[in-house]
């Protein structure tokens, strides 16, 4: 089955030719009903009964067309998706509108087990629908084809089509457990351990981001219903930390990556400048969100085979 | 694929709406089903409504099974299961009630709606009245609205109604096509016994004094007539029914005869083609225009040119007929001469003398003069034409002629026939209808029970049977105008349906014409749409040589191909509009980019405008104009035709430095 492809701008327009349509079980029930009614009309040669039966036949056929039409001309626009740490659910937000400003009803979107349904109300207004997908692997996650379907207006037919937006979501590696890092640090190297010293001087609060160590969460703010806030600490010293792949001695690549990820998060949390050394790749010491993202992306996309 | 809507709960208002609609659909069965069946259904509904507040009232699985057995028992006992239609309907209604009791999720809603559609169909098996059909079709529409509402996430009542109305309207072409061309069966698939609606009023085949007068108080439609070309004049509008020969002093009756009729000699120029639509009478008699020559299928003439259906007319039926206003009818056998001169034993002396006096006076001038003399007598003596002639005693003819002199058409016809027979002229009574009301809204004539009439036919040597209407001698206006049944019955006086009426009466008449037009239209196009009618319709497409089923399939195929074509046309044309807007927009973007403006792909029109205005503040107006045009072209439901042209012009004039 063919899917509607991305037009290059993250948009997918549903044309009429790739919409598939089949009767639902209600549709089959309806067809049986019509057959019975036709038999009754034939037998009693009852003209109004014929008329009723044929009106319902017309209604069914028209509903089939309307179901197809309800899907045709819908425009999907993948909205930018935030990177997630592996193991967390990715949130896919899609903006829906239509090329012809007709209202649409009960448009359902489905990606694996996650489904949502909504009406597209009026002329040029658009709606945003949200799907969840589990992240299982670090690296770029290509959003698989999304199933758009509808049963409007009578639920007798279901029309569906596949939309394949060319959107990728970055899945950061899952960070190692905090405790594990401490243990590991003591064994393997000083450079990594330096990240620990950062948690000395409290500078302020910022919004919780996935990956922040749980013990930095400011539970008092949470109790005051301000949402999850993380405490930020900084080290007065500006000496950059080197987070080094080679400092870890293990054959397990994923294990090393998760430890490095934890180190990056901790260094960022501490407000320190840090550099990341990976086989064949070095990211200069810096700090801030962009740097954090660059490091995490490098870790997420790290391919061990090419540099072993 | 998942059904995310299925997780949405069925709202209480939807359940209530469903119950109300189903009750409305079952309601007309009050006339058909026994109280026990309807009681069962009603009890289920009451319980279901109560359970909206107290959900624990709903029966559990075991109790429901028990109720089901109870319901089936109810059906078996109360219908006897002999009449498949009755038993089926009763079972359907009982099951519907039970289904409502276990109504929980969307699936149950669907099942109930579908059962509701089936209930509508069972209604039609009992009655095909137009008003019932309208009521039922509206309810069916509302039921489909419920389905549409079930398939929306946010239900806006007005929008849902509008969408359903459109859906139904758009399904009509398919429905009408299928209705017209779907092959009909000659014989039913399984045996059916239908008791038809029994007639309440109508002419019978005997005539007593006062029997027609009684009929005149009913404005019920007897039949309708549509003339295809020429119409008969007022004094030609005699609708011939039964011919009565035998008189016992009080009652006239027909004499059964098995002899087929003689050929009628007619004047071809006086031909009138028409279609007669009889209401259900439960009797076999038709009332064709005098003098109808050929018998349509399913009918036969008797010797008196009385047209009789082979079965009783138990439903409204149309016949295509041909009449000739100028004709020469019949012959007179020996036996018929005896019958046409037969008289009751007790005839008063003064009656005899009256007739004999006329006969002697006219020995030279002949029979025609006797007929005219009799008519003069009715005209010149103080006879009164009235609906309330009063009770007549043992010898009604004598009493009427000499004492009361108040009578309705049957009195005149009866007395006239007796006088003619006394004078030796063979005569008989014809009962039927006279006149009719033209319905200008429908183009047909309505003949009502109040138009029932009795007149005579006399045998004149050389001319055959000739119609004579003695009522016309007394009350000529009766032949010109119809009787207003409502007003006549109230006053006892004969009130004619005259033209000079009040505004209210005129409006009332207009409304009744419209109703009549709708009723006959319903009959012509739906109820009376027979296999023969279908064949003649299909023949107009020029495919008469094919078998019926092949004709039907051919027409269905052609219609669906046309629809497919229309849809493909719509498919190809639709996107062009938005493409044009997009092309124009891309041309603007090209210009902007060529002049060095950075417009990322995700920029919408407003963002692009802002960026462009920042770069070329002096061109602000021109840029805003173009963007406004684009938005209008792209998003307005009906973009103006000139917008695209204006956009091109504006783009050409745009000065970017």
Q: Given pLDDT bands bounded at 50, 70 and 90, which one contains residue B168?
A: very high
Asked whether residue B444 carries a pLDDT value surpassing 80, the answer given is yes
Q: What pLDDT, on the 0 to 100 scale, is given for residue A296?
A: 92
Q: What pLDDT, on the 0 to 100 scale, is given for residue B197?
A: 41
**Which residue among A48, A110, A121 sits closest to B128, beta carbon to beta carbon?**
A48
| Digit-coded pLDDT (tens) for B541-568 | 666 667 767 777 777 787 777 777 766 6
Torsion of CA B454, B459, B464, B470, to 10 degrees: -30
Query: What span, in angstroms and rounded, lies between the C-alpha atoms of B505 and B157?
Result: 40
More confident residue, B405 or A198: B405
Query: What span, in angstroms and rounded, lies between the C-alpha atoms of B286 and B432?
Result: 9
**Residue B47: which residues within 8 A CB-CB, separation 6 or more?**
B57, B58, B59, B101
| Lookup: tokens for B492 | 């006892």
User: Which is catalytic among the residues B469, B484, B516, B519?
Assistant: B469
CA distance A108 to chain B (A): 7
**Which residue among A45, A119, A147 sits closest to B185, beta carbon to beta carbon?**
A45
| Lookup: tokens for A165 | 């937006």
Question: Taking CB atoms and an 8 Å limit, are B171 and A61 in contact across chains?
Answer: yes
Longest dimension (CA), chain B: 127
Q: What pLDDT, on the 0 to 100 scale, is given for residue B120?
A: 94
CA distance A113 to chain B (A): 8
**Residue A196: which residues within 8 A CB-CB, separation 6 or more?**
A182, A185, A266
Q: What pLDDT, on the 0 to 100 scale, is given for residue B545?
A: 67
Asked whether residue B520 carries a pLDDT value surpassing 80, the answer given is no
Is 0.80 topped by the overall pTM?
A: no
CA distance B121 to chain A (A): 6
Strand residue runs (E) in B261-351: 265-266, 271-278, 299-301, 307-309, 317-324, 327-328
More confident residue, A81 or B550: A81
Closest of A240, A53, A154, A227 to residue B124, by C-alpha: A53
Q: What is the torsional sign of CA B605, B611, B615, B620? A: positive
Question: Taking CB atoms and an 8 Å limit, are B175 and A51 in contact across chains?
Answer: yes
Interface test with A, best of B111, B121, B637 (most A CBs within 10 A): B121
- Domain spans of chain B, in order of start: 4-181, 206-503, 560-653
Question: Taking CB atoms and an 8 Å limit, are A52 and B190 in contact across chains?
Answer: no
Longest dimension (CA), chain A: 97
CA distance B493 to chain A (A): 42
**Residue B475: which residues within 8 A CB-CB, separation 6 or more?**
B385, B494
Q: Which residue of B has its CA nearest to A113?
A: B2
Q: Which residue of B has its CA nearest to A67?
A: B151
Q: What pLDDT, on the 0 to 100 scale, is given for residue B57?
A: 82
Asked whether residue B111 carries a pLDDT value surpassing 90, the answer given is yes
Lowest-pLDDT range, A170-179, A189-198, B573-582?
Answer: A189-198
Q: State how far the alpha carbon of A119 is from the alpha carbons of A92, A244, B12, B639, in Å.
A: 18, 51, 21, 25
Question: Taking CB atoms and an 8 Å limit, are A55 and B637 in contact across chains?
Answer: no
Q: What pLDDT, on the 0 to 100 scale, is given for residue B617?
A: 87
Asked whether residue B473 carries a pLDDT value surpassing 90, the answer given is no
Which strand ranges, in their side-by-side order, compose the sheet holding B246-247?
B206-208, B251-253, B246-247
Q: Which residue of B has its CA nearest to A98?
A: B635
How many Cα neighbours within 13 Å face the side chain of B275?
14
Can you tell me the mean pLDDT for B289-310?
A: 85
Tell me whether residue B516 is one of the annotated catalytic residues.
no
Q: What pLDDT, on the 0 to 100 scale, is given for residue B497?
A: 61
Q: Could you give phi then psi for residue A132, rounded to 5 degrees?
A: -115, 145
Q: What pLDDT, on the 0 to 100 scale, is given for residue B126?
A: 87
Q: Given pLDDT bands bounded at 50, 70 and 90, which one contains residue A4?
A: confident
Query: What span, in angstroms and rounded, lies between the C-alpha atoms of B496 and A81?
Result: 86
Query: What span, in angstroms and rounded, lies between the C-alpha atoms of A81 and A83?
Result: 6
Question: Taking CB atoms and an 8 Å limit, are A115 and B4 in contact across chains?
Answer: yes
B residues 121-160 closer than 8 Å to A (CB)? 121, 124-125, 128, 133, 136-137, 140, 144, 147-148, 150-154
Can you tell me the mean pLDDT for B563-582?
A: 62
CA distance A173 to chain B (A): 29
DSSP at B243: E
Query: What span, in angstroms and rounded, lies between the C-alpha atoms of A63 and A219?
Result: 55
Q: What pLDDT, on the 0 to 100 scale, is given for residue B238?
A: 92
Lowest-pLDDT range, A131-135, B295-299, B361-365?
Answer: B361-365
CA distance B17 to chain A (A): 17
Question: Taking CB atoms and an 8 Å limit, are A52 and B117 in contact across chains?
Answer: yes
Query: What span, in angstroms and rounded, lies between the C-alpha atoms of B375 and B438?
Result: 29
Can you tell me the mean pLDDT for B574-580?
A: 55
**Which residue among A16, A110, A158 sits closest to B571, beta carbon to beta carbon?**
A16
Q: What is the torsional sign of CA A254, A256, A258, A260? A: negative
Are the CB atoms for A145 and A162 separated by under 8 Å? yes
- Averaged pLDDT score across all residues of chain B: 82
Distance of alpha carbon B386 from the chain centroid? 34
Q: Given pLDDT bands bounded at 50, 70 and 90, which one contains residue B539?
A: confident
Q: What pLDDT, on the 0 to 100 scale, is given for residue A34?
A: 95
Q: Given pLDDT bands bounded at 50, 70 and 90, which one contains residue B390?
A: confident
Closest of B354, B364, B465 to residue B416, by C-alpha: B354
| Lookup: tokens for B243 | 């011919």
**Residue B588: which residues within 8 A CB-CB, separation 6 or more?**
B626, B630, B651
Query: What span, in angstroms and rounded, lies between the C-alpha atoms of A88 and A85?
Result: 6
CA distance B142 to chain A (A): 13
Interface test with B, best of A49, A59, A95 (most B CBs within 10 A): A59
Helix (H/G/I), strand (E/B), else coil: B557: helix
A residues 217-256 closer than 8 Å to B (CB)? none
Q: What pLDDT, on the 0 to 100 scale, is given for residue B435?
A: 86
Tell me whether residue B411 is one of the annotated catalytic residues.
no
On chain B, the residues whose CB falls within 8 A of the CB of A55 are 137, 140, 168, 171-172, 175
**Residue B579: which residues within 8 A CB-CB, separation 6 or more?**
none
Can you tell me the mean pLDDT for A119-138?
A: 82
Element (H, E) at B645: helix B642-653
**Residue B11: which residues within 8 A CB-CB, separation 6 or more?**
none
A residues 2-41 closer than 8 Å to B (CB)? 8-10, 16, 26, 29-30, 33, 36-37, 39-41
Asked whether residue A236 carries a pLDDT value surpassing 60, the answer given is no
Q: What pLDDT, on the 0 to 100 scale, is given for residue B91?
A: 92
| Digit-coded pLDDT (tens) for A13-72 | 888 788 999 999 999 999 999 999 999 888 888 889 999 999 999 999 999 999 998 998
In terms of Cβ atoms closer than 10 Å to its own Cβ (0-12, 13-18, 19+), residue A290 is exposed
On chain B, the residues whose CB falls within 8 A of the CB of A116 are 4
**Beta strand pairing call for A168-172 and A241-244:** unpaired
Can you tell me the mean pLDDT for A219-246?
A: 75
Helix (H/G/I), strand (E/B), else coil: A186: helix
Q: What pLDDT, on the 0 to 100 scale, is given for residue A243?
A: 85
Question: Taking CB atoms and an 8 Å limit, are A49 and B121 in contact across chains?
Answer: yes
Asked if the C-beta of B569 comes within 8 angstroms of chain A's C-beta atoms, the answer is no
Q: Given pLDDT bands bounded at 50, 70 and 90, which one contains residue A188?
A: very low
Can you tell me the mean pLDDT for B424-451?
A: 86
CA distance A211 to chain B (A): 31
User: Which is catalytic among the residues B444, B453, B484, B523?
Assistant: B453
Are the CB atoms for B226 and B275 separated by under 8 Å? yes
CA distance B15 to chain A (A): 17
Can you tell me the mean pLDDT for A182-199?
A: 44
Question: Taking CB atoms and an 8 Å limit, are B602 and A9 in contact across chains?
Answer: yes
Question: Taking CB atoms and an 8 Å limit, are A105 and B153 in contact across chains?
Answer: yes
**Beta strand pairing call for A157-164 and A3-5:** parallel
Tell me whether residue B453 is one of the annotated catalytic residues.
yes
Query: What span, in angstroms and rounded, lies between the C-alpha atoms of B230 and B497?
Result: 24
Q: Given pLDDT bands bounded at 50, 70 and 90, which one contains residue A191?
A: very low
Asked whether residue B523 carries a pLDDT value surpassing 80, the answer given is no
Question: Taking CB atoms and an 8 Å limit, are B635 and A10 in contact across chains?
Answer: no
Query: What span, in angstroms and rounded, lies between the C-alpha atoms of B151 and B460?
Result: 79
Q: What pLDDT, on the 0 to 100 scale, is given for residue B637?
A: 67
Q: Given pLDDT bands bounded at 50, 70 and 90, which one contains residue B269?
A: confident
More confident residue, B655 or A29: A29
| Digit-coded pLDDT (tens) for B183-214 | 777 666 665 554 444 334 567 778 877 677 66
More confident residue, A76 or B506: A76
What chain A holds in terms of domains, given with CATH numbers, is: 3-171 (2.60.40.10), 178-307 (no CATH)
More confident residue, B572 or B43: B43
Q: Given pLDDT bands bounded at 50, 70 and 90, which one contains residue B452?
A: confident
Q: What percent of chain B has pLDDT over 70?
A: 88
Helical ranges in chain A per DSSP H:
25-44, 47-71, 178-188, 190-197, 219-223, 253-269, 289-300, 304-307
Which strand ranges, in their side-by-side order, compose the sheet holding B464-468?
B238-244, B427-434, B452-460, B464-468
Are the CB atoms for A166 and B20 separated by under 8 Å? no
**Residue B359: which residues within 8 A CB-CB, separation 6 or more?**
B370, B422, B423, B424
Strand residue runs (E) in B209-328: 221-227, 238-244, 246-247, 251-253, 265-266, 271-278, 299-301, 307-309, 317-324, 327-328
Question: Taking CB atoms and an 8 Å limit, are A43 and B190 in contact across chains?
Answer: yes
Q: What angle do CA B300, B302, B304 make, to 5 degrees?
A: 135
Q: What is the torsional sign of CA B39, B40, B43, B44? A: negative
Asked whether residue B521 carries a pLDDT value surpassing 90, the answer given is no
Q: Which of A85-94, B27-36, B110-119, B404-413 has the highest mean pLDDT?
A: B110-119
Asked whether residue A183 carries a pLDDT value surpassing 50, the answer given is no
Q: What pLDDT, on the 0 to 100 scale, is given for residue B568?
A: 66
Q: Given pLDDT bands bounded at 50, 70 and 90, which one contains residue A186?
A: very low
Closest of B74, B101, B69, B100 to residue B87, by C-alpha: B74
Query: What span, in angstroms and rounded, lies between the C-alpha atoms of A272 and A270?
Result: 5
B residues 72-111 closer than 8 Å to A (CB)? 85, 107, 110-111
Q: Given pLDDT bands bounded at 50, 70 and 90, which one contains residue B632?
A: confident
Lowest-pLDDT range, A237-241, B265-269, B284-288?
Answer: A237-241
A residues 63-122 closer than 8 Å to B (CB)? 63, 65-66, 73, 99-101, 105-106, 108, 110, 113, 115-119, 121
Can you tell me the mean pLDDT for B472-480?
A: 76
Can you tell me the mean pLDDT for B95-114?
A: 91
Element (H, E) at A163: strand A157-164
Interface test with A, best of B117, B126, B524 (most A CBs within 10 A): B117
Asked whether residue A159 carries a pLDDT value surpassing 80, the answer given is yes
Query: How many residue pairs from chains A and B have C-beta atoms closer than 8 A?
Result: 169
Asked whether residue A187 carries a pLDDT value surpassing 50, the answer given is no
| Digit-coded pLDDT (tens) for B598-611 | 888 778 888 888 88
Query: What span, in angstroms and rounded, lies between the C-alpha atoms of B68 and B118?
Result: 19
Can you tell me the mean pLDDT for A68-93?
A: 88
Lowest-pLDDT range, B113-127, B168-182, B258-272, B406-420?
Answer: B258-272
* Cis amide linkage into residue B291, ω under 30° from 0: yes
Interface test with B, best of A28, A75, A116, A155 (most B CBs within 10 A): A155
Helix (H/G/I), strand (E/B), else coil: B455: strand
């Amino acid at each position: 089955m063919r899917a509607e492809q991305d037009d290059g701008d993250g948009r997918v327009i549903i044309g009429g030719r790739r919409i598939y349509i089949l009767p639902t079980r209600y549709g089959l029930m309806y067809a049986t009903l019509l057959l019975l009614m036709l038999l009754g009309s034939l037998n009693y040669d009852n003209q109004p009964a014929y008329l009723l039966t044929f009106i319902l036949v017309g209604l069914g056929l028209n509903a089939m067309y309307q179901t197809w039409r309800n899907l045709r001309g819908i425009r999907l626009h993948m909205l930018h998706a935030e990177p997630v740490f592996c193991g967390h659910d990715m949130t896919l937000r899609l903006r829906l509108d239509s090329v012809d400003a007709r209202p649409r009803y009960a448009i359902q979107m489905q990606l694996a087990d996650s489904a949502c349904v909504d009406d597209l109300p009026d002329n040029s207004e658009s709606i945003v629908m949200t799907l969840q997908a589990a992240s299982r692997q670090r690296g770029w996650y290509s959003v698989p084809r999304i199933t758009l379907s509808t049963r409007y207006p009578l639920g007798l037919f279901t029309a569906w089509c596949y939309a394949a937006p060319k959107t990728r979501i970055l899945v950061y590696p899952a960070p190692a457990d905090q405790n594990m890092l401490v243990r590991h640090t003591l064994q393997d190297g000083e450079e990594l351990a330096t990240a620990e010293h950062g948690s000395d001087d409290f500078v302020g609060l910022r919004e919780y981001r996935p990956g922040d160590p749980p013990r930095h969460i400011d539970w008092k703010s949470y109790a005051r219903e301000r949402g999850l806030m993380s405490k930020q600490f900084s080290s007065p010293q500006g000496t950059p930390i080197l987070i080094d792949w080679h400092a870890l001695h293990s054959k397990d690549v994923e294990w090393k990556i998760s430890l490095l990820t934890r180190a990056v998060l901790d260094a960022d949390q501490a407000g320190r400048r840090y550099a990341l050394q990976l086989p064949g790749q070095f990211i200069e010491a810096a700090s801030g969100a962009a740097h954090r993202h660059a490091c995490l992306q490098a870790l997420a996309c790290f391919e061990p085979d090419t540099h072993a | 694929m998942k059904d995310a809507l299925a997780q949405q709960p069925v709202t209480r208002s939807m359940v209530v709406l469903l119950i109300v609609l189903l009750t409305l659909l079952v309601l007309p069965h009050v006339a058909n089903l026994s109280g026990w069946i309807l009681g069962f259904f009603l009890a289920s509904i009451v319980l279901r409504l109560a359970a909206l507040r107290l959900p624990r009232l709903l029966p559990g699985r075991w109790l429901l099974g028990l109720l089901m057995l109870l319901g089936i028992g109810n059906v078996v006992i109360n219908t006897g299961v002999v009449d498949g239609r009755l038993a089926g309907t009763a079972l359907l209604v009982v099951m519907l009630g039970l289904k409502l009791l276990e109504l929980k999720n969307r699936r149950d809603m669907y099942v109930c709606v579908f059962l509701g559609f089936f209930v509508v169909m069972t209604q039609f098996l009992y009655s095909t009245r137009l008003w019932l059909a309208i009521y039922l079709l509206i309810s069916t529409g509302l039921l489909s609205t419920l389905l549409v509402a079930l398939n929306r996430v946010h239900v806006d009542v007005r929008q849902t109604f509008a969408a359903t109305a459109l859906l139904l309207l758009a399904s009509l072409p398919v429905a009408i096509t299928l209705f017209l061309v779907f092959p009909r069966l000659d014989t039913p698939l399984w045996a059916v016994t239908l008791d038809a609606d029994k007639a309440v009023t109508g002419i019978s085949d005997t005539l007593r004094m006062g029997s027609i007068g009684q009929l005149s108080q009913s404005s019920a439609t007897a039949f309708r007539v549509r003339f295809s070309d020429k119409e008969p004049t007022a004094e030609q509008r005699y609708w011939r029914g039964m011919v009565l020969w035998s008189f016992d002093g009080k009652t006239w009756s027909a004499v059964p005869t098995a002899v087929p009729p003689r050929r009628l000699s007619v004047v071809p120029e006086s031909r009138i083609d028409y279609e007669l639509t009889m209401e259900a009478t439960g009797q076999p008699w038709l009332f064709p225009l005098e003098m109808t020559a050929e018998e349509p299928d399913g009918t036969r003439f008797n010797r008196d040119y009385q047209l009789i259906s082979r079965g009783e007319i138990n439903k409204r039926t149309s016949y295509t007929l041909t009449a000739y206003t100028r004709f020469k009818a019949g012959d007179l056998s020996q036996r018929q001469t005896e019958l046409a001169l037969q008289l009751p034993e007790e005839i008063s002396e003064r009656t005899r003398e009256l007739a004999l006096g006329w006969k002697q006076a006219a020995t030279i001038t002949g029979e025609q003069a006797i007929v005219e003399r009799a008519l003069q007598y009715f005209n010149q003596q103080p006879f009164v034409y009235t609906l309330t002639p009063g009770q007549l005693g043992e010898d009604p003819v004598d009493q009427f002629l000499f004492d009361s002199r108040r009578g309705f058409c049957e009195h005149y016809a009866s007395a006239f026939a007796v006088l003619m027979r006394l004078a030796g002229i063979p005569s008989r009574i014809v009962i039927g209808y006279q006149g009719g009301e033209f319905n200008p809204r429908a183009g047909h004539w309505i003949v009502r029970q109040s138009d029932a009439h009795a007149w005579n036919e006399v045998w004149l040597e050389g001319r055959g049977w000739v119609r004579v209407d003695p009522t016309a001698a007394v009350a000529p206006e009766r032949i010109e105008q119809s009787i207003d049944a409502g007003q006549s019955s109230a006053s006892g006086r004969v009130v004619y349906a005259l033209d000079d009426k009040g505004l209210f009466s005129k409006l009332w008449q207009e409304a009744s014409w419209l109703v009549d037009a709708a009723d006959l239209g319903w009959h012509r196009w739906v109820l009376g749409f027979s296999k023969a009618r279908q064949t003649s319709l299909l023949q107009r497409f020029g495919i008469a040589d094919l078998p019926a089923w092949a004709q039907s399939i051919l027409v269905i195929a052609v219609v669906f191909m046309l629809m497919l074509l229309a849809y493909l046309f719509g498919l190809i044309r639709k996107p062009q509009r938005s493409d044009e807007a997009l092309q124009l927009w891309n041309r603007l973007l090209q210009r902007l980019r060529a002049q060095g403006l950075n417009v990322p792909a995700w920029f919408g029109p407003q963002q692009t405008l802002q960026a462009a205005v920042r770069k070329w503040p002096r061109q602000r107006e021109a840029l805003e104009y173009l963007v406004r045009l684009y938005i209008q072209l792209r998003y307005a439901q009906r973009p103006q035709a000139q917008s695209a042209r204006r956009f091109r012009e504006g783009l050409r004039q745009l000065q970017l430095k």
